[in-house]
Amino acid sequence: MAYFVFDLDLTLADIPMEVYNELSIIQQVSVNANRQHRYNEYVKVIADDELKILTNSVIQNGMLRPEIIPYMVQILNLKLRGRCKGIIIYSNNRDLINLEFVRDVLIECIRRSTEDIPIDTIRSLFCLCIHRLYPGRPTNTMNPPKTWPELRDIMMDNREACDITESLSPEDIYFFDDMIPRHTIAFQIPRDQYFQVIPYHRDKPENYKDIKESDVFSFEKVIYKLGYETNSLGGGIYRHTMKNRLKQKKQMRKHKYSKKNKRKNKVGKAKKQN
């Protein structure tokens, strides 16, 4: 069963310093209820900004990677159809709140981009947030390697959250990362299931076009490998699907009117008449 595994920084998001600062201030609120309310409101504020960027097609300079929200909706559709189990954020960021904040903003954006899907179902799309200080990870380095044995052990320790009912293998993992050189896990899972994406920097708009084109290719490859066709993105995936469909129809017409097929039909009709 498929899992989408994402690094955080520059793969899912480029978190601005003002976001770090605001999250630090929110953490210092003494009353739990007030802290949670302020956190929830801040999630909504950032989600508003991200959806405005997506809707208005302006130059991307938000926290989230360009057009990542429609892709998340696609992954949710895969999960609803039983084609994947969900998403894991696997990062060397030491602060868990940063991973959870990006996750919560994505959940809020997905909620507003879909209809009639319960919020608990959307939340269940995100299985785990694994940060650098997660129990069991190396503590003697600022950038511990991400490996298949480590990821497997963490997932197996969280069977319920990851909805693991049977065994787990490297073939279940689709890993997206911007790391150079590659993490060790790149050589421990199938080669065509590791995707090295272009790092997203909010202050480099000249790279946005390349990021979008690269991401379309990466996500198309995974979505089609998992056997899911859709036109809901209205972009590269839809055009690619229509191109394939037109090609298939052309091949069918070519076969229908081929001399070999005409002879076959003629023989079939003669047998029926006899």
Residues 125-146: pLDDT tens digits?
999 999 999 998 998 888 899 9
User: Which residue intervals of the chain are DSSP H helices?
Assistant: 17-27, 32-56, 68-80, 96-113, 119-123, 148-157, 159-162, 208-225, 236-256, 259-273
- Do 274 and 143 belong together in one domain? no
Averaged pLDDT, 248-272: 55
- Do 29 and 42 belong together in one domain? yes
- pLDDT value for 271: 57
* Residue 140: φ, ψ to 5°: -95, 10
Please give the DSSP secondary-structure letter assigned to residue 221.
H
- Do 249 and 200 belong together in one domain? no
- Do 11 and 93 belong together in one domain? yes
- pLDDT at residue 232 tops 50: no
8 A C-beta contact, residue 7 and residue 176? yes
Q: What span, in angstroms and rounded, lies between the C-alpha atoms of 126 and 90?
A: 11
Lowest mean pLDDT among 18-22, 113-117, 216-220: 216-220
- Do 150 and 265 belong together in one domain? no
Domain count along the chain: 2
Looking at per-residue pLDDT, the higher value among 73 and 220 belongs to 73
Q: What span, in angstroms and rounded, lies between the C-alpha atoms of 212 and 67?
A: 7
- Do 154 and 241 belong together in one domain? no
Q: What span, in angstroms and rounded, lies between the C-alpha atoms of 91 and 101?
A: 13
* Residue 82: φ, ψ to 5°: 75, 20
- Do 87 and 199 belong together in one domain? yes
Averaged pLDDT, 203-223: 88
Structure tokens that stand for 38 in this block: 């302020």
Averaged pLDDT, 175-192: 93
| Residues present in the chain in total | 274
Lowest mean pLDDT among 57-66, 84-93, 128-137, 181-190: 57-66
- pLDDT value for 234: 34
- Do 213 and 243 belong together in one domain? no
Its domain, for residue 266, covers 232-274
Q: What span, in angstroms and rounded, lies between the C-alpha atoms of 77 and 125?
A: 10
- Do 104 and 13 belong together in one domain? yes
For 137, other C-beta atoms within 10 Å of its C-beta total: 16
Dump strand ranges (E) for the chain.
2-6, 84-90, 126-130, 173-177, 194-196
- pLDDT value for 150: 97
8 A C-beta contact, residue 8 and residue 130? no
Per-chain mean pLDDT for the chain: 85
Beta-carbon contacts of residue 122 (< 8 Å; ≥ 6 apart)? 76, 107, 110, 111, 114
Q: What span, in angstroms and rounded, lies between the C-alpha atoms of 182 and 270?
A: 64
- Do 94 and 208 belong together in one domain? yes
Averaged pLDDT, 6-13: 94
Whether a cis peptide bond, with omega within 30° of 0, leads into 145 is no
- Do 134 and 28 belong together in one domain? yes
Question: Among 195, 8, 169, 200, which residue's Cα sits nearest to residue 87?
Answer: 8
Question: Among 201, 185, 15, 194, which residue's Cα sits nearest to residue 99?
Answer: 15
- Do 175 and 125 belong together in one domain? yes
- pLDDT value for 255: 53
pLDDT band at 115 (very low <50, low <70, confident <90, very high): confident
Terminal Cα distance for the chain, rounded: 53
Determine the 3-state secondary structure of 130 from DSSP.
Answer: strand
- pLDDT at residue 77 tops 70: yes
